[in-house]
Structure 1
Amino acid sequence: MEKRKLGTTGPSVSAIGLGCMGMSDFYGPADRSESIATLHAALDAGITLLDTGDFYGMGHNEMLIREALAGRNRDNLQISVKFGALRDPNKGFLGYDSRPAAIRNFVAYSLQRLGVDTIDIYRPARLDPDVPIEESVGAMADMVKAGWIKHIGLSEVGSDTIRRAHAVHPIVDLQIEYSLVARGIESDILKTCRELGISITAYGVLARGLISGHWSKERSAVQDFRQMSPRFQGSNLDANLALVDSLRSIAAEVGASPAQVAIAWVAAQGNDIVPLVGARRRDRLSEALGALDVKLTDAHLAALAKAFPPGAAAGARYPEAQLAHMDSEKR
């Protein structure tokens, strides 16, 4: 497995990471035994970066990872944890909390649920509008000194926040959505990260399955997060599935699946970018890993650029209510 270094001060991780969220939340029921088998398959294939959040299933995801790692060799394994999202018993969201005292509380629970002494990469899930980023990162810097966490990351924040955070303590990576149909970081955020020596861990590389080649209009009644996503609704879905038809055509020329080409495209945008794949089944994981063998030529990249120019997707990547809380979307 090829390795890529996270930032100038971070660890070397596998060229593809595994996003574990769907094993616990947001995409309907998941099979526990299949989830654990998928985690084992990922480790066996050389994946070393596991991404989770303390609010994924209200702790379920962290405990699932702990169960999957029991008895496994954990050398050179990196667990990335997001914190700060507040939820209620109905699984609704109540906002974000990145106060220093809250962060110390969150990390204590994550350490216990994961069964580890230190967390490799720790990051606020979103910017808390009521707490200066300097205070949050300062608290995490103290946690690095205490040995509770090793590295500090960020998630879905804009350039100004990135600069302010990095001035307090080195940031190793920014986790943010990046795909053929979500290219917003290219206008400014990616440049800022590269200037500061911060890597990108890209989630949503298949746009929540939209550009995987497995989605169809017949699946639109699925009861999960996608039912609220603008890109999966009405005429937006029609327009976006037409884009996928173009991807299918290019993938046929490449000799790979649409999903593999979409993942390979993200990986090809720079050695400082690590795609996170949200596979929760072994067959989907196997397909995603096949992207490592896809070699996109200049002609393929040009065809993809023509088929997927910035802004090509119909509909926003999140509902308006959520976009309003995303620092990365502020211009």
Structure 2
Amino acid sequence: MGEIQIPRVKLGNQGLEVSKLGFGCMGLTGEYNHPVSEDVGISIIKYAFSKGITFFDTSDVYGANANEILVGKALKELPREKIQLATKFGVAPGDYTAGIIVKGTPEYVRSSCVASLKRIDVEYIDLYYQHRVDRSVPIEETMGELKKLVEEGKIKYIGLSEASPDTIRRAHAVHPITALQMEWSLWTREIEEEIVPLCRELGIGIVPYSPLGRGFFGGKAVSENVPANSLLRSNPRFQGENFEKNKIIYTKMEMLAEKHGCTAAQLALAWVLRQGDDVAPIPGTTKIKNLDDNISSLRLKLTKEDLEEICDVVPQNEVAGARAIETLLSFSWRFADTPPPRV
């Protein structure tokens, strides 16, 4: 088989074009597993670029700033004009013992942007997301400052993450939102009812994070113990009885993947990739083999019937446990924009 050409897609109506498959850099600094060395992290980013991935996602909060610094060093070895760099602000640094603080004041927006530009050592950020929405600050105020940053050339496009429909509409009225980053995978599909149609109505691109169910469909957690320091330890879907029930879903996915001549991870990622021309998922990994496998998922040709069959294997009412963001919101996020889970 020849080299896979990763397609390009447009996010939003403002001119941003990215690789259909992006790369989430968060895991390189150890949020899910052990961090990789700086050299390895840089080499993975460079390898992804060599394969046609140009859309790289980081945040000021990942690895307590270390992630942005790592991405910046990798970008120094790549042609900047061919990269679409996404980073985020809004989750204030701290030890989080008293809860995770979300900030969206105009002053915080500006200081965060300036700090990220300095850490990554770039002149502009292609896509700047509000990581979580501060409900104590009108979204119009936050967006007003982001709009100024666009006018000053510090950022090119504005994004939101985990925002409600009302917030998306109000924000978009101040300045066009180019992309919305939300959790979206075979076992996390809440956004399909209201958020996805709204994005398409307003012309906003969708960037699914955790498209492999936080690695669940990669099978690692099923076959190996989850590391003690991993964020997955606090995820209800990876705990106790929930996990045992979810393993049954994984086994069914494995069997279906065998029929398609691929892995469960590739089938799960291919399903997300097929959700629309305005969708660009950002799976992350610390291993070149997994990166190659993710890219190979673009080869899968899935019919409408195939997509329905995949959905049937992962019925939403059989997924056990709340998604991680809901658990966090129920006790620790301050001013986050997504409502706490229904009990």
TM class, shorter-length: over 0.9
Separation (CA, whole Å) in 2 of partners of 1:274 and 1:92: 34
Aligned to 1:327: 337
1:189 CA displacement: 0.8
Cα deviation, 1:38-68, whole Å, max 9, x if unaligned, reads 1011010111110000111121011101111
Q: Which moved more, 1:78-87 or 1:172-181?
A: 78-87
1:59 alignment partner, SS class: helix
Look up the equivalent residue of 2:251 and give its one-letter code: D
Look up the equivalent residue of 2:222 and give its one-letter code: S
Q: 1:8 aligns with which of 8, 13, 35?
A: 13
Look up the equivalent residue of 1:101 and give its one-letter code: E
Structure 1 pair 93–40 and aligned structure 2 pair: CA distance change class (3 A): farther
Separation (CA, whole Å) in 2 of partners of 1:188 and 1:58: 33
Separation (CA, whole Å) in 1 of partners of 2:83 and 2:98: 32
Question: Would the aligned equivalents of 2:29 and 2:36 in 1 still touch at CA under 8 Å?
Answer: no
Q: 1:95 aligns with which of 82, 95, 101?
A: 101
Cα deviation, 1:309-331, whole Å, max 9, x if unaligned, reads 33431101116552344534569
1:221 CA displacement: 5.3
Aligned to 1:84: 90
Look up the equivalent residue of 1:27 and give its one-letter code: Y
Return structure 1 stretches of 4+ with deviation > 6 angstroms: none
Q: 2:119 aligns with which of 113, 123, 132?
A: 113
Root mean square deviation of aligned Cα:
1.8
2:58 alignment partner, SS class: strand
Aligned to 1:197: 203
Separation (CA, whole Å) in 2 of partners of 1:222 and 1:286: 27
Does 2:250 align with 1:244? Answer: yes
Structure 2-normalised TM-score? Answer: 0.92
Aligned to 1:18: 23
Cα deviation, 1:227-263, whole Å, max 9, x if unaligned, reads 0000000011011111111111111111111111111
Q: 2:313 aligns with which of 307, 312, 325?
A: 307
Structure 1 pair 320–54 and aligned structure 2 pair: CA distance change class (3 A): same
Query: Matches of residues 28-177 of structure 1 in structure 2 within 5 Å?
Result: 28-32=33-37, 33-88=39-94, 94-177=100-183
Does 2:234 align with 1:263? Answer: no
Structure 1 pair 319–157 and aligned structure 2 pair: CA distance change class (3 A): closer
Structure 1 pair 279–218 and aligned structure 2 pair: CA distance change class (3 A): closer
Question: Would the aligned equivalents of 1:117 and 1:148 in 2 still touch at CA under 8 Å?
Answer: yes
1:208 CA displacement: 1.1
Separation (CA, whole Å) in 2 of partners of 1:40 and 1:71: 8
Separation (CA, whole Å) in 1 of partners of 2:297 and 2:339: 29
Look up the equivalent residue of 1:12 and give its one-letter code: E
2:178 alignment partner, SS class: strand
Separation (CA, whole Å) in 1 of partners of 2:24 and 2:111: 24
Q: Which moved more, 1:119-128 or 1:70-79?
A: 70-79
Cα deviation, 1:163-200, whole Å, max 9, x if unaligned, reads 00000000011000000000000111111111100011
1:88 CA displacement: 1.8
1:28 CA displacement: 3.3
1:57 alignment partner, SS class: helix
Q: Which moved more, 1:317-326 or 1:49-58?
A: 317-326
Q: Which moved more, 1:295-304 or 1:247-256?
A: 295-304
Question: Would the aligned equivalents of 1:213 and 1:257 in 2 still touch at CA under 8 Å?
Answer: no
2:199 alignment partner, SS class: helix
2:214 alignment partner, SS class: helix
Question: Would the aligned equivalents of 2:134 and 2:337 in 1 still touch at CA under 8 Å?
Answer: no
Question: Would the aligned equivalents of 1:37 and 1:282 in 2 still touch at CA under 8 Å?
Answer: no
Separation (CA, whole Å) in 1 of partners of 2:98 and 2:50: 35
Task: Provide the identity percentage.
Answer: 38
Question: Would the aligned equivalents of 1:217 and 1:237 in 2 still touch at CA under 8 Å?
Answer: no
Question: Would the aligned equivalents of 1:100 and 1:135 in 2 still touch at CA under 8 Å?
Answer: yes
Separation (CA, whole Å) in 2 of partners of 1:112 and 1:278: 24
1:294 CA displacement: 1.1
Aligned length: 331
Structure 1 pair 222–133 and aligned structure 2 pair: CA distance change class (3 A): same
Look up the equivalent residue of 2:159 and give its one-letter code: G
2:221 alignment partner, SS class: coil
Aligned to 2:291: 285
Q: Which runs of 5+ in 2 are unaligned?
A: 1-5
